[in-house]
Amino acid sequence: MKKIAIFAAASAAVLSVPALAAPGNQSTADGAATAEVVAPLTLTHDAGATLNFGTFVPGTVGGSVTVSRAGNGTAGGDVTLMPGSVEAADSFSVAGDAGRRFSIVTGAGTVSSGSNSMAFTTDARANHTLDSSGAASFNVGGTLTVGANQPAGVYTGSYSVTVTYN
């Protein structure tokens, strides 16, 4: 706030310069100085949200589990989702400058259980726009690659998400 206050004073100074710099000249003109202070982007991983590939039987050949941005899971290859398996998309909240557009980049990662692991890729919209109150949210889906006879276990992992003003 302090910097903004100083700048406002400076704007007044700029406007008055042409009038003072032209002694003897009776015409005056208004100039303008502009600046835009953009609220910083903040990105928050929604509490309790996780990209959940559910519970599945890997099969002898292996395959994949894909979770859509809407959170629907489908199994591919030799993988079978268990009855009662719950899949879910991850979700994030963004705050920043109202109406401003930003890009979303999500990384890949691995989930691991002890020494066993599975790789996954992620999927999110490429761009989004902050609403009139400067808020936005988006979901992240992904595809998990499941190995043949993937060992049993509860696998967990992480990935990075970056949002940047366009």
Partner 1 sequence: MPDLRHLRRGFGLALALIPAAVCAQPGDSATATGSAQAEVPELGRLAHLRDLRFGAFMQPTAAGTLVIAPDGTATGTGQIAAGMTIPQPPDGRGPALFRLDGTANRAFVAILPNRITISNGSATMQVRNITTNMRNGSNRFDASGIFMLWVGGTLQVAANQAPGEYSGDFQVTVIFQ
Residues lying near partner 1 in the complex (CB under 8 A) are found at 3, 6-7, 9-14, 16-17, 20, 33, 35-45, 49-58, 65, 80, 82-83, 90, 92, 94, 106, 109, 111, 113, 118, 120, 122, 140, 142, 144, 146, 150-165
Nearer to partner 1, 7 or 29 (CB): 7
Q: Are 104 and 96 in contact (CB under 8 A)?
A: no
**In angstroms, how far is CA 151 from the centroid of its own chain?**
32
Nearer to partner 1, 29 or 35 (CB): 35
What is the rounded CA–CA span in Å between residue 13 and residue 45?
A: 44
Nearer to partner 1, 24 or 84 (CB): 84
Smallest Cα–Cα separation from 52: which of 126, 165, 140, 131?
140
Smallest separation, CB 61 to partner 1 (Å):
13
Rg (CA), the chain: 26
Q: Are 159 and 108 in contact (CB under 8 A)?
A: yes
What is the rounded CA–CA span in Å between residue 109 and residue 163?
A: 18
Smallest separation, CB 155 to partner 1 (Å):
5
Nearer to partner 1, 39 or 61 (CB): 39
Nearer to partner 1, 29 or 37 (CB): 37
Q: What is the DSSP letter of 100?
A: -
